[in-house]
Structure 1
Amino acid sequence: MDFLGGKPKIAYFSMEIGIDENIPSYSGGLGILAGDTLKSCADLNVPVVGVTLLSQNGYFYQKIDENGNQIELPIDFDVPKFLQKLPSITSVNIEGREVKVQAWLYQYKGIGGYIVPVFFLDTNIDGNLDWDRTLTKYLYGGDNKYRLAQEIVLGIGGVRILKTLGYKTISKYHMNEGHAALGTLEIFNLCNDVEKVRQQCVFTTHTPIAAGHDQFALPLAKSMLGNILPDFIINDVTFENKLNMTRLALFFSHYVNGVAKKHGEVSRIMFPGYSIDSITNGIHSSTWVSESFKKLFNKTIPGWLSDPYLLRSAQSIEKTQIWDAHVQAKQELINFVNTNYNASMNCDDFTIGFARRQTAYKRPDLLISDPKRLMQIAEKKGPIQIIYAGKAHPKDASGKEAIKNIFHVMKTINGKVKITFIQNYDITISKLIIAGVDLWLNTPRRPREASGTSGMKAAHNGVPQFSTLDGWWLEGCIENITGWAIGPEKTEHEESDDKIDSYDLYDKLEKLIMPKFYQDRDNWIRTMRSCIALNASFFNTNRMIQQYVLNAYFM
């Protein structure tokens, strides 16, 4: 098979991989990071294969009614149009029965022509029970039993399908979050040596709060997994009589990392006794840079596509060129919202973007928590436009309520502050918003943001970020140079306070940010340029992958 060329040494496992706009097998940051990771591997000729679930019906297609109620619809994904079905079939054992697993192939070609194969696992096969055939239909769907079955397919099935496909040179298995941790049991099953398993396994954790780690009641886990779960590791991989996927991955990995420096610290506190490093996330530069900035960088920074570090020299780009590239991206966004949402927005007006998963800890409504103050700022300092986007998990009631609140405020103040919510947030919409707004807003309650990457994408397009000091922003924020911090300094308070943060948000917006945008455009563009030179040059997946190669893969 031609995709076996290059003898891959690394297998990269992720529950979701967002590598192509046409393949809806992702829900948010985790999947987009996975896709960007594999793209940079291709650009750098790193011998890797990707393994994920097919998720034939995707996450969901989002519609929002006039009152802000989110409606989830299945996605109709024409799989054979974008993926190649492979003849090889393996199987996993779930509750004592055999469940067949097949793979669909996607090939990503890097900048120099190197190809990284990605395998999408599928249980929708004749001969499987009806319930088993649904396991690769819905991303993050169903109950705990359904989720555990999905993770059996991903972890155990993923290791087995690689063997079935003829891969004999895999020496590292990289688990992007704990969803694939059960693969360690299959590797142990093959060698019966804990240390040999550890030498092969790398684990990246993304979750800074205990509730976010997948865990399953031990009786359920034993009944679903059978004999592949050895008794002698139970004490190490369980917590409160539940099989904890993070602890399982920790137990069997020789290298573990968090996804930002602060997240590494938080993870070491959460899991004492384990050595946990940190490699700060990045984004795939050429994927997320808008067409107007690509043209500018191609002209002024030759070689940036293969070496994003060269973006350091963006400081020498003429300010008028930076602004012209931004206006092109902004006009494209404004045209989109005006055409599709009758938004009546103006390209000259200060535009704030907030687009990500809609959930309580990200505080999507912090900016509009005091509508009266927001309107006063707009009246005194200049027009404000806000563009929202993002999906709430179908079971996240508070996230759905946040969307409804945005729509409520939209109706009460629209006109004085123009607000638009773009539906069905995906890669295409993300590119449009991130490049087209003037300011990127990020308001997570700390310390709950492991890293975050949307602000990195904004920086690649010269858009400064305004964010609480958490995740990557603790490393990327140079006040008034690359953006602005919301709330107290990192040494003052560990937990976020909504009142303190909202006050600081409005205060800086009124006194620092908007005056700079409207009255000191020259300095505003200097900030835009610094975002590219200081943050885009470092916070990219090329740098990130080089760190993994040196620290985790030992290549």
Structure 2
Amino acid sequence: MSLSTHAPSLAGRTIAYFSMEIALSPELPTYSGGLGMLAGDTLRSAADMAAPMVAISLAHRRGYFRQHLSDIGQQTESDVPWQPESLPSAGEVVTLTLNERKLMVRAWRYDVIGVTGHVIPVFLLDTDVEGNDPWDRRLTDHLYGGDSYYRLCQEAVLGLGGVALLNALGCKPEVHHMNEGHAALLALGLLEDQLDGAPLANATDADIEAVREHCVFTTHTPVPAGHDQFGVDQMYQVLGQDRATAIDRAGCLHNGLMNMTYIALRFSRYVNGVAMQHGKVSQKMFPGYKVHAITNGVHAGTWVSHHFQELFDAEIPGWRTDNQYLRSVYGIDPAQISACHLKNKQRLFDVVAKRTGHHFDPTVLTLGFARRVATYKRASLLLQDTARLVAIAEKIGGLQILFAGKAHPADGPGKGLIREVYEVADRLNSSLLRIHFLENYDWELGALLTQGVDVWVNTPRRPYEASGTSGMKAALNGVPSLSILDGWWIEGCAEGVTGWAIDDAETEQAEAASLYDKLENRIAPVYANPRAWARVQRHCIGMNGTFFNTHRMLAQYLGNAYFPPAPVLLAPPAGEPFRLHRRASDVPFSAAEISSTVN
């Protein structure tokens, strides 16, 4: 675990990053998937870049879940318990009122340490405190566990408890970043601070505007189910009359429900999606709000394989602190890129053999598909025409496909997709076509797969892929993508250079046909030419690795969202009035802003 010797100073920490899940370490089960990985990578880049940041999440004492798969692909789950007491205490206990009773919240500190030694402290909130109601002590046990009542209580702890803890620690951030709507109730905590103990019923538009100036919100999903909603009765029960009425008066109910996304939208001065396309989709979803876009990235120092790290350290000094230096990969012999990838591939296959007893051939074209198993991600599109797949494998001299992913415990259709992959694999596996679904997709397995397969496959139903980051990790390791043009891939796909796009079509059958055509007629011939394939691998690093990283992403947050440049006056042509311009935002100026700027 990453710990500094002494508690880092919170003086000057001007940014507070709130996220329901954060992937801090492979040993800690404090994340479920992409959202948590993004949060962790953001903080790792913040540490590398010495950003003035602190982070808030929950302890999740019993984790998300460990996946178990039967011989027919039936998923079952078990807890992943850990001991937060192994971490330093934050030293403060704060008290909230939820469900008309007192709730004590403590926190544990995890330090994310950057390449130059800068520390980002992460405080993991924990309600397992002696004196709390027995039910309340379990509130921070399970990530995304329980029913809607449990989830609302959790999100109240995250938002309200996080603000209370920062106050107790003497930390007064200028910016509070809500990484998804789970943290939206922090706005109520800030509003309570703004009113200095007065009832929220006394809040004016000016008070709400004062809170908005301190809040930034990132929305991560165009899937309706991804936006948490709670019944009004639950809202009043959990939050109490004063807070619930304030939410209603602020216009944060949507379709008769308390909607966490609308709370975040109402109380944030800057809102963004996580890819250019997702920003456009989100703008249509929320037409009453200006939605910007900052495309996600991944932390290069975390996801680049050991073999590539050694090569980059020798050939590209400075890449760890400035990922744009990875452009210098064009000065490296492509054969060295191929050699590193072959080592990654062999390492992956060694682990697969150890885990499963199945032996894969490192000379054979290998596809990887790994992500949360949800129906819109379409894990089985690759297997839609099994006769065509078998024919391709025979034509090109062999094909291997590795799948991995967890379905949410309550997602029956998602679990059904895993069983479907198992059934097809059992029916098709032969000497020329090998398909296997790997159990318990997590940080370490994700790294092995994105580093070791030859082609990364992604087949979401458009436009439901907000961004996606696994393909970015693959690109950093010289692995091209074969993907639907959605999310980040719209920006990252240079056809035949960094990968291949599956053509848009009206039916899944037509999209599957495009996938097979690209695999057979575009990808396999290039793979058969080692020098040509090595050039594709180098382009992935040089073109996509230099952009789709959290160093670039965080720099955009710092300059566009957290601390945008002040408005500037431009001297007008003779005879014309002054015009005001923002350099980082196209939000219209209010009359008050114009007055204050001119005067």
TM-score range, shorter chain: over 0.9
Q: Does 1:550 align with 2:559?
A: yes
Describe how 1:69-468 pairs up with structure 2 within 5 A: 69-81=74-86, 83-168=87-172, 170-192=173-195, 193-226=207-240, 227-231=242-246, 233-234=248-249, 236-415=251-430, 416-468=432-484
Q: What is the match of residue 525 of structure 1?
A: 534
* Aligned mates of 2:184, 2:507 — CA distance in 1: 35
- Other-structure match for 1:498: 508
CA shift, 1:233, in A, is 4.5
**For structure 2, which runs of at least 5 residues remain unmatched after alignment?**
1-5, 196-206, 565-599
> In 2, Cα distance between the equivalents of 1:506 and 1:179?
39
SS in 1 for 2:213: helix
What is the Cα deviation at residue 86 of structure 1? Answer: 3.0
**What is residue 513 of structure 1 aligned with on the other side?**
523
State the distance in 2 between where 1:164 and 1:6 align.
Answer: 13
TM-score (norm 1): 0.97
- Once the two structures are TM-superposed, the CA of residue 399 in structure 1 deviates from its matched residue by 0.8
Quote the offset at 1:197 in angstroms.
0.2
Indicate the residue corresponding to 1:59 in structure 2: 64
The DSSP-based 3-state class of the residue aligned with 1:211 is: helix
Separation (CA, whole Å) in 2 of partners of 1:209 and 1:64: 27
Deviates more, 1:317-326 or 1:90-99: 90-99
How far apart are the structure 2 equivalents of 1:378 and 1:297? 35
Deviation at 1:130, TM superposition (A): 1.5
CA positional deviation for 1:78:
3.1
The aligned amino acid for 2:126 is D
Q: 1:338 and 1:21 mapped to 2: Cα distance?
A: 21
**Do the aligned partners of residues 216 and 107 (structure 1) sit closer, same or farther apart at CA in structure 2, a change above 3 Å counting?**
same
Task: Tell me the alpha carbon deviations over residues 216-249 of structure 1, each in whole angstroms, 9 at most, x when there is no partner.
Answer: 1112111211112344744621111101111100
- Which amino acid in 1 is paired with 2:186? G
The one-letter code sitting in structure 2 at the alignment partner of 1:348 is: T
The more displaced of 293-302 and 451-460 is 293-302
- Aligned residue number for residue 20 of structure 1: 25
* Percent of matched pairs sharing the same residue: 48
* CA distance in structure 2 between the aligned counterparts of 1:553 and 1:230, rounded to whole angstroms: 29
Name the amino acid aligned to 1:215.
Answer: Q
How far the C-alpha of 1:262 sits from its partner, in A, is: 0.4
CA distance in 1: counterparts of 2:186 and 2:246, whole angstroms: 17
Conserved? CA contact 1:189–1:228, under 8 Å? no
CA contact (8 A) 2:90 2:123 kept: no
Q: Hey, what's the Cα distance between the residues in 2 that align with 1:296 and 1:383?
A: 30
Q: Deviations over 1:164-189 (max 9, x none)?
A: 12213x11100000000001011011
Counterpart CA distance in 1 for 2:102 and 2:465 is 39
Which stretch shifts more, 148-157 or 293-302? 293-302
TM-score, length of structure 2 as denominator length? 0.90
Structure 1 counterpart SS, 2:382: coil
Tell me the distance in 1 between the aligned counterparts of 2:33 and 2:280.
24
Distance (whole Å) between structure 1 residues aligned to residue 106 and residue 12 of structure 2: 21
| Cα pair 1:343 1:418 within 8 Å, conserved | no
Q: How big is the shift at 1:93?
A: 1.7
1:7 to 9, 12, 15: 12
Asked if the contact 1:186–1:228 (Cα under 8 Å) also holds between the matched residues in 2, the reply is no
Structure 1 counterpart of 2:437, which letter? F
AA aligned to 2:513 is: Y
CA-atom RMSD in angstroms = 1.3
Runs of 4+ in 1 over 4 A off after TM superposition: none
